[in-house]
Amino acid sequence: MYIDIKKTKGKALYTQLYDAIVEEIVSGRLRNGMKLPTRRAMAEQLNIAQTTVDSAYKMLQDTGYIISIPRRGYIISFKSSPYGGNIPWETTAPEEIVFSPNGIDTSHLPRTIYAKIMKDILYNDGIDVFSYPEKGGEFILRNEISKYLYSFRDIKCSPSQIIIGAGTEYLLTSLAAIFPESTKYILENPCDTHFYHTLSSYRHQLVILPENIDEFDIEALYASDGNILCIEPDTRCPRSAAMSPEICSAILEWAYASPDRYIIENGYDSELQTIQKRTLYSMDTKNRVLYLNSFSRSISPAIRTAYMVIPENLLELWKKKHVYYYSLVLKQEQYALAEFIRKGHFMKHYKYMRKSYKERREYLKDCLLKAFGENIQIYGESASTYISAAFVSHNTNEVKTKAKKAGVKLLSLNSFNVNKNAVPLENDRLIMGIGDLNNEKIRMGIKLLKECLN
């Protein structure tokens, strides 16, 4: 397979490679199901950097031209879509830049180190990775997580209190099983839709608090008839606004007021926050907080390893309800992750990414302010990979619609609206993510946004 690029000055190489491959696909020379060369092979063929090929391939995935299949590589696919549907992509449509709050940059992951750890564990005679796993997760991983939580999040817990699972959704459903069927789960609106859909799909009773964009509404919490509050204090996703210590204390007081009240604290994205705040779990003095987190943001979503910390008073109940529980995370992966943490690679990686995301976030803010000046308001300082913003003279939905036509995909608070009646949220704001965008894409996205709004 031969791909030709002219290396035109003034245009990024990865976009030239992207355009060249798209032209081959549109012309029919590259057909559905055909395999693209590996990144290394393509880089050697064109005498360009592998990172350039990687950026082009990622863009092809984002726009639905190819898919990545483990052990097979990159495959041409007209039917693939980053949004889950079979969208007939028009070849005349502009290149799409997606400001997704869920995107992350995996290009800096120390893959060679992680691969070596995995290989060493697989061939280590002292570790039988093919035997039955430990219930609740391998002790070696639970022990490393326990030490990490104590050192960096001030969470004091024993390894026995930590349960390993294949994703927070999986752990949340297992956790819900220990509470009575009459339990009502309280969610903010807007909120992390993963929690909402996980709980609602299992027909758990939900109490949705009235819309509140700014500070958490303690009065609404007390007025509700719910028992368990599901909350993300670090960012109050998707608001990009951390809870104040006073609000955290008030939430704990609510939980202490009745013996059937608990708090499920979602630590999602917390490692990547610029300012590390105390967790609700570390502030809790009466065993009312359960802590959930995963490695999908701090390392990679491909590592489907999550964990939860259960208070001592609920641990035995959980064990009785889950006599046959296994984490569904491969033993080899658990041992590898434990070693990755133990040797300091995990901390080094997420601290580097925290700095990188902060720089890109600040670059996005600068681009927005230079392009729109006083016509745009930027909110929140806590989120790692996204910001919240609103235009003074433009309706948020209007901005999203015009941006989409210009090739820029944006989400807003309404994208996280869990109101059953689908009532649009007032004071809607844009949610603009930079996790998987470099500065060039950010700059181009804001340039297109400005052009479509003028």
CATH 3.90.1150.10 residue spans of the chain: 348-453
Report pLDDT for 279.
95
Is the pLDDT reported for residue 91 higher than 50?
no
Report pLDDT for 84.
34
354 contact partners, CB below 8 Å, separation of at least 6: 271, 272, 273, 274, 384
Of the two residues 309 and 380, the one the predictor is more confident about is 309
Report pLDDT for 8.
73
pLDDT band with cut points at 50, 70 and 90 for residue 277? confident
Is the pLDDT reported for residue 78 higher than 80?
no
Report pLDDT for 83.
34
| Dist CA 322 CA 341 (whole Å) | 28
pLDDT above 90 covers a percentage of the chain that reads 53
CATH 1.10.10.10 residue spans of the chain: 13-88
Q: Kindly write down the DSSP assignment for every residue of 150-199, as one continuous string.
A: HHHH-----GGGEEEESSHHHHHHHHHTTS-TT-EEEE-SS--HHHHHHH
pLDDT band with cut points at 50, 70 and 90 for residue 88? very low
Q: Which residue is associated with the tokens 């609000």?
A: 247
Q: Domain 116-344, CATH 3.40.640.10 — does that match? A: yes
Report pLDDT for 371.
96
Of the two residues 311 and 83, the one the predictor is more confident about is 311
Q: What six digits make up the tokens of 349?
A: 């990686």
Mean pLDDT of the 403-420 span: 89
Helix (H, G, I), strand (E, B) or coil at 29: coil
Q: What pTM was computed for the model? A: 0.78
Number of Cα atoms under 13 Å in the Cβ half of residue 325: 23
pLDDT tens string 305-357: 999 999 999 999 999 999 888 888 999 999 999 999 999 999 999 999 999 99
Going from the C-alpha of 422 to that of each of 190, 415, 419, the distances in angstroms are 11, 10, 5
Report pLDDT for 85.
35
Q: Which CATH class is domain 13-88?
A: mainly alpha
Are 293 and 268 a contacting pair, CB within 8 Å? yes
Average pLDDT, the chain: 88
Report pLDDT for 234.
87
Is the pLDDT reported for residue 90 higher than 90?
no
Of the two residues 255 and 49, the one the predictor is more confident about is 255
Is the pLDDT reported for residue 82 higher than 60?
no
pLDDT band with cut points at 50, 70 and 90 for residue 95? low
Q: What six digits make up the tokens of 134?
A: 């430990």
Report pLDDT for 376.
96
Report pLDDT for 184.
97
Closest CA to 283 of 155, 160, 148: 155
CATH 3.40.640.10 residue spans of the chain: 116-344
Q: Which range (35-39, 56-60, 182-186, 405-409) has the least confidence?
A: 56-60
Single-letter residue type at 132:
Y
Is the pLDDT reported for residue 80 higher than 60?
no
Is the pLDDT reported for residue 432 higher than 90?
yes
pLDDT tens string 200-222: 888 899 999 988 887 899 999 99
Report pLDDT for 382.
64
Is the pLDDT reported for residue 65 higher than 50?
yes
Closest CA to 99 of 312, 386, 377, 416: 386
Mean pLDDT of the 2-15 span: 77
pLDDT band with cut points at 50, 70 and 90 for residue 304? confident
DSSP 8-state class, residue 229: E
Is the pLDDT reported for residue 254 higher than 90?
yes
Tell me, which fold does domain 348-453 have in CATH? Aspartate Aminotransferase, domain 1 (3.90.1150)
Is the pLDDT reported for residue 48 higher than 70?
yes
